[in-house]
Amino acid sequence: MTSKGIDHSGLTFRQDYFGDLEAWQALVDLLKDTFDIDIGPLQEMGGPDPSSMPFGWFDRDGLLAANLSAFAMPLVINGRTLNAAAFQSGAVRPPWRGRGLYRDLTRKALAWCEEMGFEAIALYTDKPSLYEPYGFRSLALHAYSGKAPAASKAQTPARRLDPLDAADLTLLRAALKAREPASDVLAVCQSAAMFLINTQLDPGVRVSWMEQEQAAIAWKTEPPGRLILLDIVTADIPSLTSIIGALDIEPDAVDMLFCPDKLGWNGEARSLDGHTHFMIRTPGAITFDRPAMLSPMADF
Ligand SMILES: CC(C)(COP(=O)(O)OP(=O)(O)OC[C@H]1O[C@@H](n2cnc3c(N)ncnc32)[C@H](O)[C@@H]1OP(=O)(O)O)[C@@H](O)C(=O)NCCC(=O)NCCS
């Protein structure tokens, strides 16, 4: 094998395999074994993003040896909607590493994105050098922290949603479909599947429903006294004061894990250096108009 070759002996290539539930389960197993995350519950929540295009090498027993998936993830960056794709679920099982399988899958996924006409591709990684040769560049991420504003008391307090409950899931999916981006600086346009699975991956995440505003708020309080605002899913973003009022909490401080340009509140931007890299591949360089990060509920 040359340094840029591929050794796929004993393996079969498949793409677009999510319709086959055994192959889907093989991906669930690969991600559990590699990253210790369980995307299994996604099937109960409407399934993976319908635009998903997985690329994988399977062994004779149906074990997934290597995978990389692409999906459409339209983004708003600096007020402009970008027809972007994202890469996720990139992993190769240890016995098959160093054979060029990941390089092969990366090239296949890039070719698919080109064919589909995406303007940009985004990904998260702790290994940026893996993607730099393909033109991906890391963007600096910032959260916002500051004093909590006084709450404006809500007539009706928000109620907790359980995304695994059928009625709550229907409500949440409708809100995700109708949502406006949570920020004009950096946000996903929809990305419903990622939001839903992220409610399950971190047990600390709560989702509360503001009935009057028709808004779902993803949040945490860790440690007590700090409101960590993760995302807001609605067609018309309410102010932070009314959100705090509806959540019926009295935090001293707020951490906002997306740019607060639509919230009527301003914290101090705090660099997330050392955090997983958010990389993007675009024809031109991107600089955010304001420090920003993508909501963790869009994490993929
Ligand atoms: C990282 C990983 C996907 C590489 O898979 P692989 O099949 O062994 O990679 P390949 O043999 O196809 O090598 C592809 C290229 O990546 C480079 N590479 C391999 N492992 C790397 C690592 N850990 N860090 C940086 N670069 C790496 C190789 O040198 C090769 O470079 P080249 O194309 O210039 O020759 C695999 O080790 C893995 O699954 N790791 C755990 C999960 C993970 O980190 N996933 C990706 C993060 S998003």
pLDDT, tens digit, 9 for 90 and up, residues 60-115: 999 999 999 999 999 999 999 999 999 999 999 999 999 999 999 999 999 999 99
pLDDT, tens digit, 9 for 90 and up, residues 176-213: 999 999 999 999 999 999 999 999 999 999 999 999 99
Q: Do domains 12-140+275-284 and 143-271 have the same CATH topology?
A: yes
* pLDDT attached to residue 2: 44
pLDDT, tens digit, 9 for 90 and up, residues 234-286: 999 999 999 999 998 999 999 999 999 999 999 999 999 877 999 999 999 99
What is the CATH topology of the domain spanning 12-140+275-284?
Aminopeptidase (3.40.630)
What six digits make up the tokens of 178? 């109708």
Which ligand 1 atom sits nearest the alpha carbon of residue 93?
A: 39
Domain ranges for the chain: 12-140+275-284, 143-271
For residue 191, how far is its CA from the centre of ligand 1 (angstroms)? 27
Query: What is d(CA 281, CA 292) in angstroms, rounded to the nearest whole number?
Result: 17
Predicted confidence band of residue 153 (pLDDT cuts 50, 70, 90): confident
Predicted confidence band of residue 55 (pLDDT cuts 50, 70, 90): very high
For residue 102, how far is its CA from the centre of ligand 1 (angstroms)? 6
* pLDDT attached to residue 43: 94
Distances in Å between the Cα of 142 and the Cα atoms of 53, 105, 188, 253 are: 30, 31, 16, 17
Pocket residues: Cβ below 6 A from ligand 1: 3-4, 34, 66, 90-92, 97-103, 125, 127, 129-130
Amino acid at 83: N
Asked whether residue 163 carries a pLDDT value surpassing 60, the answer given is yes
Q: What share of the chain is helix, strand, coil (3-state, %, to 5)?
A: 25, 30, 45
Query: What is d(CA 204, CA 187) in angstroms, rounded to the nearest whole number?
Result: 22
pLDDT, tens digit, 9 for 90 and up, residues 119-149: 999 999 999 999 999 999 999 999 999 999 9
Which ligand 1 atom sits nearest the alpha carbon of residue 97?
A: 8
Which ligand 1 atom sits nearest the alpha carbon of residue 105?
A: 12
Task: Report the CATH number of the 143-271 domain.
Answer: 3.40.630
